[in-house]
Amino acid sequence: MDQRMADVLSVLELETLEVNLFRGESRDIGSPQVFGGQVLGQALVAAYRTVEGRACHSLHAYFLRRGDFNAPIVYQVDRSRDGHGFSSRRVVAIQHGEQIFHMSCSFQVPESGMEHEAPMPDVPPPEALSDFDAYAGEILMELPEKIRPFFEHRRPFELRPVKQRNYINPQPEAPLRQVWFRAVDKVPSDDEWLHRCLLAYVSDYNLLETATLPHARSLLHLQMASIDHAMWFHRPFRVDDWLLYAVDSPSASGALGFARGSIYSRDGRLVASVAQEGLIRPRGPGPAVAPLPPAAS
């Protein structure tokens, strides 16, 4: 197995400390704090450890403090309710004696019902696009030293943007991104819960950054942090098959950016929806360019 895949699976393998109490380790991905997707994925694993025969269909989370990747994170699960068809859980992540994150999530017994879905955007297939890591390697030495570790990090997911962003000389762009992604190796399990936890992990990529596109700001000159994150799981999928992440940002104001994403399988099924709001605070003067108007939703 690819070492990156083995490592992310290891990160999601929580240690049971006591009933409803779990502990997870962290990884440094080149950012100043623990990657938000890691905390999201681990929290969902902790919640799944307390239910049987039910799949998570939605989650709503808040990031309260920066996580320290040099220390373990403890996850405490509150079994809020177990009903006939649904179960509700609340997960609190604790580090150095303080809450750094909390999440509410709901699980459902599988059942059938009415179905419809929004169509997938018409974009080139992943085979026609270049890998983000290859692009990052080409521009690495042109980037400020401070942000190079993030671009050097070898992710457990392959990312192929429909359009590569210009990180050296950013120009105003419409707040839209479409990125194909998949795990770098086959996930050694068909368990639906694991694929949903891995999707929660990778869903934190590409969201908040989309809200910066109209403003032509270098990432070095922005303070950015996820504040809340919501997901809805609609249909089964595999994260080791190609998935398309179609993201748009309808608003940014008051130092907050809002982004939403639709995740499609290769055959056009809408498998999940995501929404996130986060802090986007400029550091120093901005470029002398006017931002583009928001794209129509």
Catalytic status, residue 276 = yes
- 135-189 per-position pLDDT tens digit: 777 766 777 677 776 777 778 999 999 998 887 788 899 999 999 999 999 999 9
What pLDDT is attached to residue 228? 96
What is the mean pLDDT for each group of 10 consecutive residues in the chain (297 residues)? Answer: 94 97 90 90 98 97 94 97 97 97 98 95 96 75 71 85 86 95 96 98 94 86 92 98 98 96 98 97 59 41
What pLDDT is attached to residue 291? 44
What pLDDT is attached to residue 285? 54
Residue 291 resides in a domain: no
Residue 221 resides in a domain: yes
Residue 294 resides in a domain: no
Residue 156 resides in a domain: yes
The catalytic residue among 26, 204, 249, 265 is 204
What pLDDT is attached to residue 6? 95
Residue 295 resides in a domain: no
What pLDDT is attached to residue 240? 97
Strand partners, 18: 21
Residue 120 resides in a domain: no
Residue 244 resides in a domain: yes
What pLDDT is attached to residue 237? 98
* 254: containing domain: 3-109+126-282
What pLDDT is attached to residue 284? 63
Residue 189 resides in a domain: yes
What pLDDT is attached to residue 165? 83
Question: How many structural domains compose the chain?
Answer: 1
The catalytic residue among 26, 106, 218, 276 is 276
DSSP the chain: --HHHHHHHHHT-PEEEETTEEEE-----SSSS--HHHHHHHHHHHHHTT-SS-EEEEEEEEE-S---TTS-EEEEEEEEEE-SSEEEEEEEEEETTEEEEEEEEEEE---------PPPP----GGGS--HHHHHHHHGGGS-GGGHHHHH---SEEEEESS---SSS-----SEEEEEEEESS--S---HHHHHHHHHHHTTSSHHHHTTGGGT--GGGEEEEEEEEEEEE-S---TTS-EEEEEEEEEEETTEEEEEEEEEETTS-EEEEEEEEEEEEE-S---S-PPPPPPP-
Q: pTM for this one?
A: 0.90
* Radius of gyration over every alpha carbon of the chain, rounded to an integer in angstroms: 19
Question: The domain that contains 183 carries what CATH number?
Answer: 2.40.160.210
- 54-83 per-position pLDDT tens digit: 999 999 999 999 999 899 999 999 999 999
The catalytic residue among 218, 226, 249, 265 is 226
What pLDDT is attached to residue 145? 72
